[in-house]
Amino acid sequence: MKIFDIESVVFHLFGYPFSYIELIGTIFGLISVVYATRANILTWPTGVINEIFLFLLFFQVQLYADMFLQIYFFVVTLYGWYRWNSKSEVNRITEMNLKAKCGIGILIIAGTILAGYFIKNLHLNFPKYFVIQAAYPFIDSFIMVSSIVATVLLAMKKIENWYLWMTIDFVCTLLYFKKAVFILSLEYLIFFGLAAYGLYYWKKELKND
């Protein structure tokens, strides 16, 4: 179907061709993050739509780590949806201790290195499926690994997820601009601002609790 093809353009914005998959992925990604900043459970169903369309988009622009990331997001989205629907004490906003924060940092660094080498060689190991070499494999892998961790922290309602999202959003803004996916780059710049607001809002909620 043409709707799943990045070359299928809905309209041009200031000369930029806006495809169906980028439009749908962008809109629902924005809606999902807005709901997340307010700790609203609707962040999860809107996130599912975002993940499906970004999976298709990233495959077509050779950001394979980001593509694989959408599969993980889908699974964790279901987990987060279930967890946030719980009315128990485990669903409260909480903060991590220093030991846990250091562990998260080490996990992200190690995961980025391992994933980076794997993504870098995808076109060699699986040439049938990945004809073109991955673009920026280590930066892309950092985004993937950090997003994996941040999504789990979001599902667990750990306030540190917002610090991590702010870092991810900044890197994504630069990377997607470099790959000429300009609307997605702009969206992640907006995400950065929303993450900062989410941190502020969750801190206020944590203090009230």
76 CB-side CA count, 13 A: 17
Look over the chain and give the mean of its residue pLDDT values, rounded to a whole number. Answer: 88
Does the pLDDT value for residue 88 go beyond 70? no
pLDDT in tens, 26-82: 889 889 999 999 989 999 999 999 999 989 888 888 777 778 879 988 999 998 988
pLDDT in tens, 5-38: 777 777 777 777 778 888 888 889 889 999 999 9
Structure token digits, residue 44: 């999860």
Mean pLDDT, range 172-180, rounded to an integer: 89
**Three-state helix/strand/coil letters over 100-152:** HHHHHHHHHHHHHHHHHHHHHCHHHHCCCCCCCCCCCHHHHHHHHHHHHHHHH
Range of the domain at 139: 2-208
The pLDDT of residue 90 is: 61
Q: What percent of the chain has pLDDT over 70?
A: 96
Please count the structural domains in the chain.
Answer: 1
pLDDT in tens, 117-140: 998 998 888 888 788 888 889 998
Distance in angstroms (rounded) separating the CA atoms of residues 190 and 192:
5
